[in-house]
Amino acid sequence: MASKGWIAALGASMVFGSSSIPAKHPCCRIVGPFGFQLWVTAGNAMTTMSLALLKGSPVRWSSWGAAGALLLTATQCCAWPAVGALGAAAGPGIWCGVGMSVAFMWGTIVFQEAVRSLALCIVALILLFFGIVGISLVQSSMLQRLLGESGATGLMSEEESNKTGRARIAVGVLLALMTGLFDGSLMAPFKAYLASHPSLVSSSSSSSSSSSSSDVVVFEYLGSFALALPVVAGGSLVLIMFYQHRALNSGPDRSSFRQAAYPGFCAGVLWAVGNVLSVHATLELGQSIGFPMTQSCVVISALWGIVVFKEMTARTPLLLFLLSSTLVAAGASLLGSNSYR
């Protein structure tokens, strides 16, 4: 059902584009990125587990679910330092572009997914890339405006948001590239899980109720993912925070950490819902098409800043946003038209 895949991809873009809103809470800046991420992980794991149980899916350990949790943890642990080195706009602009390309290569080269025209798919990815870069520039202008007015950038201090020195920028770019590599590989364990469970795929394709059958496939994988996430991500974050507290004599106090629970958990719920939709999009459209489509979430993220939070009113950035959004829409449409599904 291709229509279900498009709806899932659009839904994932909207949810992921809104997932950073809870991070605007003042306590999130105090608790720091890793303390905040610990609550995000808790919300993500509990929501995903609850959805799997509500669907009646068996929750059991799977090496592919653990691999998915490991990739998500690696993505997030590289993303925060990358944002600290490059800023809240340039970092995501790099890793979204890299992530789309990596996901496309996983789909076409590794999993042998057929597309109508490889050349047109590459053109579509280029359009998406430049559209995302343009939106990142708009968000950079929004960031500089906020710095000028309040001296704060959400989860980062002003010092962390400035590009100081070639070495810092080089490290930031390397981390952003690694984030894109991990991010673009997030759905690869799910595809491998499908390959190792052919009976699930055949029952999904042959069943008269393809919607319920695809839900079984999706939530069996997500159940194993949710089981592994607290172990892989939670354990890593606790070790990082313990190191900050003991070796660096830094980290959040208990009061601030408790205050960050609500916004962090809400962000985790959004991540869980977005992940469910991304897996559905990958199942219905393939990794080469479905996952790159979800990266248009940067448009939604910028819209929140422009329309709701009034972070940009100048004419030139708004025109750049409209042009960049048009490129993203054109790239997404062209990519979608090259799917056989």
Concatenated DSSP letters of 39-79: HHHHHHHHHHHHHHHHTT------HHHHHHHHHHHHHHHHH
Q: Please give the distance of CA 77 from its chain centroid, rounded to a whole number.
A: 13
Domain enclosing residue 257, as ranges: 2-337
Q: What percent of the chain has pLDDT over 70?
A: 81
Cα–Cα distance for residue pair 244/340, rounded to 1 Å: 50
The β-bridge partners of 153 are 156
When divided into structural domains, the chain yields a total of 1
Tell me, what's the pLDDT at 146? 47
Task: Report pLDDT digits (tens) over 24-71.
Answer: 777 777 787 788 888 999 999 999 999 999 988 888 899 999 999 999
Q: Which is nearest to 258 in space by CA: 36, 105, 107?
A: 36
CA distances for 289 relative to 223, 294, 300, angstroms:
24, 9, 19
Q: What percent of the chain has pLDDT over 90?
A: 19
Q: Per the structure block, which two tokens stand in for 71?
A: 């990739």
Among the ranges given (10-14, 127-131, 297-301), the one the predictor scored with the smallest mean pLDDT: 297-301
Q: Per the structure block, which two tokens stand in for 314?
A: 């100048």
Cα–Cα distance for residue pair 302/99, rounded to 1 Å: 19
Phi and psi based region of residue 60 (left: phi greater than 0; alpha: psi -120 to 50; beta: remaining): beta
pTM as predicted: 0.79
Which residues are within 8 A (CB) of 41 and not within 5 positions of it... i.e. 6 or more apart? 229, 230, 233, 234, 237, 268
Q: Which is nearest to 179 in space by CA: 265, 82, 244, 289?
A: 82
Q: Which of 60-74, 77-91, 144-158, 231-245 has the highest mean pLDDT?
A: 60-74
Beta strands in the chain (DSSP E): none
Tell me, what's the pLDDT at 94? 78
Among the ranges given (14-23, 80-89, 116-125, 262-271), the one the predictor scored with the smallest mean pLDDT: 80-89
Answer whether 5's CB lies under 8 Å from 290's CB. yes
Among the ranges given (246-250, 258-262, 273-277), the one the predictor scored with the smallest mean pLDDT: 246-250
Return the HEC string of 126-180. Answer: HHHHHHHHHHHHHHHHHHHHHHHHHCCECCECHHHHCCCCHHHHHHHHHHHHHHH
Task: Report pLDDT digits (tens) over 263-312.
Answer: 989 989 999 999 999 998 888 888 888 888 887 787 887 778 777 777 66
Tell me, what's the pLDDT at 48? 94
